[in-house]
Structure 1
Amino acid sequence: MHIKIVQGEAVTPHIADLARLRTHVFRAFPYLYEGSEDYEASYLATYARSPESLFVLALDGERIVGASTGVPMPDASDVFQAPFIAAGIAPEKIFYFGESVLLSSYRGRGLGVRFFEEREAYARRLGRFDWCSFCAVERPQDHPLRPTDYVPLDAFWGKRGYEHRADLRTMLAWQDIGEDNETEKPMSFWLKAAR
């Protein structure tokens, strides 16, 4: 196992592999994403266009088994910026963590912690951010596809120093497994001081 760090367009040779990984991992609860590799490749290309985007890749040999992303908030979609603008928090002061995905057989080895450490260190090196932030989907406790052994990541995120900000919310649309169309899902943000 090793970690590879790439920025901006340097991720381009890895986009197809990352699109496959994301589509696979996001099918699980709580995302239940009925996605396509083409859409994921297009989404990742938007990150690649940001010269200060970050990709933390976990590799087993040459195979990408996990990845974590980050981008200055002004380079993220308006749907992620809007809650901060409404709350009077300048997007220019936020480094946004996109997603972390990791194949289930590689979990429990410290890679999730490493993903956070690498993104936080990068945000500090850039030197102009007050906050690191990410958002997570909110699913009801009684969701019919919630596994009986599902453990939310709230405690893990709290241990990393992130505070849940239920007042910072947005909606994001995607097609769930078993749905015919995209529907909007509620997302709420978590924040940690970047310095």
Structure 2
Amino acid sequence: MSVEIRILTGDALSEALEDLARLRIEVFRAWPYLYEGSMDYEKGYIERYEKTSGAVIVGAFSDGRLVGAATGEPLEAEVIQFRGPFEDKGLNPATIFYMAESVLLPDFRGQGIGHRFFDEREAHARKLGFTEAAFCAVIRPDNHPLKPDDYQPLDPFWKKRGYDKLNGVRVHFPWKDVGEADETEKPMQVWMREL
């Protein structure tokens, strides 16, 4: 299956938001996020990208359908739950580009698309003058009952890309897990690199 990578900003970004919302719900339902999403929540959560100068979606399209996407925006524009831990650590959000979600349908994995997602967002951030890039990854206990036996963490991939865990910096963000009635806060490890 051939995949076309497109850099979406402005109107093209706005037009992709509904497809991005559906993709987030589908991909994040799996381990380790276990996210029980809804279109109403998603639309409200991701609409900030169309209002943020410097925001980007790197879209992966197959036969005109969005099958993967990676987003990013200046950290200064992020919600306080994501921005606050950086500020608490004494880091300047004005220099950091936040690499938000990266979602790809399983049938399209293993083709280098994940690398393209990082390449394109990092290039976009450099063009805007950012000197660092960061993202968060959910932390789940190793003995979690829903953890698949064949799960392979992405830590080696991220390290190969030049990212390291930022010691002592974690984000806490709430969402409803699959099968749960209420949202609970999840810890997320911050990873960062210089651009």
**What TM-score bracket applies, with the shorter chain setting the length?**
over 0.9
Amino acid of the structure 2 residue aligned with 1:136? A
| Partner of residue 110 from structure 2, selected from 90, 108, 111 | 108
Contact preservation (8 Å) 1:80, 1:170 = yes
RMSD value, Cα: 0.9
Q: What is residue 70 of structure 1 aligned with on the other side?
A: 72
Q: Following TM superposition, by how much is the alpha carbon of 1:9 offset from its aligned partner in structure 2, in angstroms?
A: 4.5
Distance of 1:84 and 1:68 partners within structure 2: 21
Q: Following TM superposition, by how much is the alpha carbon of 1:93 offset from its aligned partner in structure 2, in angstroms?
A: 0.8
Q: What is residue 82 of structure 1 aligned with on the other side?
A: 84
Contact preservation (8 Å) 1:57, 1:66 = yes
Q: Following TM superposition, by how much is the alpha carbon of 1:90 offset from its aligned partner in structure 2, in angstroms?
A: 0.7
Q: What is residue 9 of structure 2 aligned with on the other side?
A: 7
After TM superposition, the score normalised by the length of structure 1 is 0.96
Q: What is residue 140 of structure 1 aligned with on the other side?
A: 141
Amino acid of the structure 2 residue aligned with 1:171? H
Query: Equivalent residue of 1:88, what SS?
Result: coil
Structure 1 gap ranges (5+): none
Contact preservation (8 Å) 1:171, 1:184 = yes
After TM superposition, the score normalised by the length of structure 2 is 0.96
Distance of 1:69 and 1:78 partners within structure 2: 18
Structure 2 gap ranges (5+): none
Distance of 2:98 and 2:18 partners within structure 1: 23
Distance of 1:109 and 1:37 partners within structure 2: 29
1:94 lines up with 2:96 in the alignment: yes
Show structure 1 runs of 4+ deviating over 6 A: none
Amino acid of the structure 2 residue aligned with 1:91? P
State the identity as a percent: 50
Distance of 1:15 and 1:121 partners within structure 2: 22
Distance of 1:82 and 1:40 partners within structure 2: 22
| Partner of residue 125 from structure 2, selected from 107, 123, 126 | 123
Distance of 1:21 and 1:131 partners within structure 2: 27
Query: Equivalent residue of 1:16, what SS?
Result: helix
